[in-house]
């Protein structure tokens, strides 16, 4: 059933079939099984699995918050200098989603911001006004204190992000704006 944590019987049946037909590959992630497409020959690292789960969690939560929005896959951003995990096209603008694991936060976040600073215009030329959300898998205080926060982005921590009830991701004020205020994501998406 959509919106529950229960795995459907159909899914339980199909995943092993897809593995036996080599359409998916199965790996252990703690007590869980994760599945990847077979084009990836090297087994995934824990960081890769966590990054994939964080990206998927964000996509599901955002889509459930606005079912009229359109998901834009990351491959559509190739050649533009910055490639988000995915984009979400709303009526008048677009959200670009960036998920940062703990190691990614410390080693890559500033570089990602610099890249978007240079390339956001190219993305906006193709898709219209864009806004970036950085969801970081670190303590909330680290996210709050992080600088610089550009005015074309908002930041939040992953733990708080996952605590928001499904369907309310755009309206709950958990996102840090460049001036330190905690605002709903809709604020950033609707600002000029």
Q: What is the pLDDT of residues 49-59, one digit of tens each?
A: 888 889 999 99
Q: Give CA 126 to chain center in angstroms.
A: 20
pLDDT tens digit string along 138-169? 999 999 999 989 999 999 999 999 999 999 99
Is the predicted pLDDT of residue 1 greater than 50, yes or no? no
- Class of 45-190 in CATH: alpha beta
For residue 51, how far is the Cα from the chain centroid?
A: 9
Per-residue pLDDT, averaged over 40-61, amounts to 87
pLDDT class of 5 with cuts at 50, 70, 90: low
pLDDT surpasses 50 at 61: yes
Strands (E), the chain: 25-29, 32-36, 70-73, 86-89, 94-100, 130-136, 153-157, 175-176, 182-183
The pTM for the full model equals 0.86
The ranges of the chain annotated as CATH 3.40.1350 are: 45-190
Q: What is the pLDDT of residues 176-186, one digit of tens each?
A: 999 989 999 98
* Other residues' Cβ atoms within 10 Å of the Cβ of residue 56: 13
Kindly compute the dihedral angle of the four CA atoms of residues 162, 168, 169, 170, in this order, to the nearest 10 degrees: -170
What does the alpha-carbon distance between residue 36 and residue 94 come to, in Å, rounded to a whole number?
A: 28
């Amino acid at each position: 059933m959509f919106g529950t944590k229960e795995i459907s019987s159909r899914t339980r049946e199909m995943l092993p079939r897809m593995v036996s037909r080599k359409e998916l590959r199965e790996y252990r992630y703690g007590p869980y099984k994760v599945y990847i497409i077979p084009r990836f020959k090297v087994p995934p690292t824990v960081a890769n699995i966590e990054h994939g789960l964080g990206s998927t969690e964000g996509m599901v939560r955002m889509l459930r918050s606005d079912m009229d929005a359109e998901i834009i896959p990351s491959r559509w951003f190739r050649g533009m200098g910055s490639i988000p995990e995915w984009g979400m096209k709303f009526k008048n603008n677009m959200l670009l989603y960036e998920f940062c694991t703990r190691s990614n936060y410390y080693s890559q976040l500033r570089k990602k911001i610099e890249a978007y600073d240079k390339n956001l215009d190219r993305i906006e030329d193709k898709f219209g006004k864009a806004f970036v959300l950085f969801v970081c898998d670190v303590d909330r205080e680290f996210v709050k204190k992080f600088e610089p926060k550009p005015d074309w982005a908002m930041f939040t921590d992953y733990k708080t992000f996952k605590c928001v009830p499904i369907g309310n991701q755009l309206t709950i004020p958990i996102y840090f704006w460049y001036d330190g205020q905690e605002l709903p994501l809709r604020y950033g998406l609707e600002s000029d």
